[in-house]
Amino acid sequence: MSERAIFDSLKDLPLPEVRFYPETGSTNQDALDWAAQGAPDLALIVADHQTAGRGRLGRSWFTPPGAALAFSLILRPALPQPDLLPLYSPLGALSVAIALEQIYALQPLIKWPNDVLLNQRKVCGVLAESLWQGNGLQAVVLGIGINVAPASVPPPDQVLFPATCVEDAVGTTVNRWHLLAEVLKTVIHWRDLLTTPSFLTGWQQRLAFKGEKVRLENPGGETFEGILLGINPFGHLRLKMNDDSEQTFTVGDLKLRPLS
Ligand code: BTN
């Protein structure tokens, strides 16, 4: 892997600073630290290998060397609106899904709120973390991990949801840095559209398990079963419950599973 290849593939994007680490603990932690030290909007950290990659709900994220994409983009929202925070990780998922469609003509789906699936297996996870000063939102760190080559797929006993990688879906080797550039280009485009109907439409069109029976589980182990109807204008998940009522669930610490 040449560092030049990475910087070359990113040269047409409006990224003020890019840091590449052959190995680091977590790019999200690095980006939060950098943001606290004043990193500008769209500063980017990319790592080849993470030794302490972070996932949602306190889980860990597997990033072995040479096989995955692991990066964190620092966003400094022009109008820091904390109520938009839950939309940042779906922004990451939508951008990865669109990039996979654009480059490889794949048909990814988004498992609400922000896992990208290929052939019903998870190929990408997104973790958005925020930096606060008092009540003021300083920055959002958008961390994205994509399984690219087979070596990046965690062993089945280490995942809660079946996993896959981009190369298995494409059937050939994939240029990681080309994919990275396309995802970043897409994030930069859609970040300004977070409050528009087209963002929600783009997300909803790619929503996995629509019309299917699913189970949601909260951290206390409480479960809710129903038919997945879609998302509402706030990005909340809509389920039709057994008694035909509709319930909505906010983006948070919920696990979603298909029941079939
Ligand atoms: C999940 O599905 O649980 C979210 C995984 C997010 C992983 C990415 S890899 C780059 C960035 N750095 C981290 O430590 N985590 C995110």
- 21 and 41 inside one domain: yes
- 17 and 83 inside one domain: yes
| % of the chain residues with pLDDT over 70 | 99
- 244 and 157 inside one domain: no
What is the pLDDT of the chain when averaged over all its residues? 94
Write out pLDDT tens, residues 153-184: 999 888 889 999 999 999 999 999 999 999 99
Residue 43 has pLDDT above 80, yes or no: yes
Write out pLDDT tens, residues 51-89: 999 999 889 999 999 999 999 999 999 877 888 999 999
Last residue of a domain, one of 205, 222, 248: 205
| % of the chain residues with pLDDT over 90 | 83
Residue located nearest, by CA, to atom 7 of ligand 1 = 145
- 132 and 228 inside one domain: no
Residue located nearest, by CA, to atom 2 of ligand 1 = 125
- 164 and 219 inside one domain: no
User: Is 181 a pocket residue for ligand 1 (Cβ < 6 Å)?
Assistant: no
Residue 248 has pLDDT above 80, yes or no: yes
Structural domain including 250 reads: 213-258
pLDDT score recorded for residue 130: 95
- 175 and 227 inside one domain: no
Last residue of a domain, one of 205, 233, 249: 205
CATH number, domain with residue 233: 2.30.30.100
C-alpha of residue 125 to centroid of ligand 1, in Å: 6
22 — pLDDT class (breaks 50, 70, 90): very high
Sort strands 18-24 and 44-54 into parallel, antiparallel or unpaired: parallel
- 53 and 172 inside one domain: yes
Question: Among the atoms of ligand 1, which is closest to the Cα of residue 26?
Answer: 14
Residue located nearest, by CA, to atom 16 of ligand 1 = 143
Write out pLDDT tens, residues 6-21: 999 999 999 999 999 9
- 60 and 159 inside one domain: yes
Counting ligand 1 atoms within 8 A of each CB, the residue from 28, 30, 89, 141 with the most, and so the one to mutate, is: 28
Query: CA 184 to CA 168: how far, in whole Å?
Result: 22
- 185 and 254 inside one domain: no
Residue 234 has pLDDT above 90, yes or no: no
- 161 and 252 inside one domain: no
User: Is 143 a pocket residue for ligand 1 (Cβ < 6 Å)?
Assistant: yes
pLDDT score recorded for residue 1: 59
User: Is 152 a pocket residue for ligand 1 (Cβ < 6 Å)?
Assistant: no
Number of structural domains the chain divides into: 2
Counting ligand 1 atoms within 8 A of each CB, the residue from 26, 127, 142, 183 with the most, and so the one to mutate, is: 127
Q: Reduce the secondary structure of the chain to three states and give it as a string.
A: CCHHHHHHHCCCCCCCCEEEEEEECCHHHHHHHHHHCCCCCCCEEEEEEEEEEECHHHCEEEECCCCEEEEEEEECCCCCCHHHHHHHHHHHHHHHHHHHHHHHCCCCEEECCCEEEECCEEEEEEEEEEEEECCEEEEEEEEEEEECCHHHCCCHHHCCCCECCHHHHHCCCCCHHHHHHHHHHHHHHHHHHCCCHHHHHHHHHCECCCCCEEEEECCCCCEEEEEEEEECCCCCEEEECCCCCEEEECCCCCEEEECC
- 169 and 242 inside one domain: no
CATH number, domain with residue 78: 3.30.930.10
User: Is 27 a pocket residue for ligand 1 (Cβ < 6 Å)?
Assistant: yes
User: Is 47 a pocket residue for ligand 1 (Cβ < 6 Å)?
Assistant: no
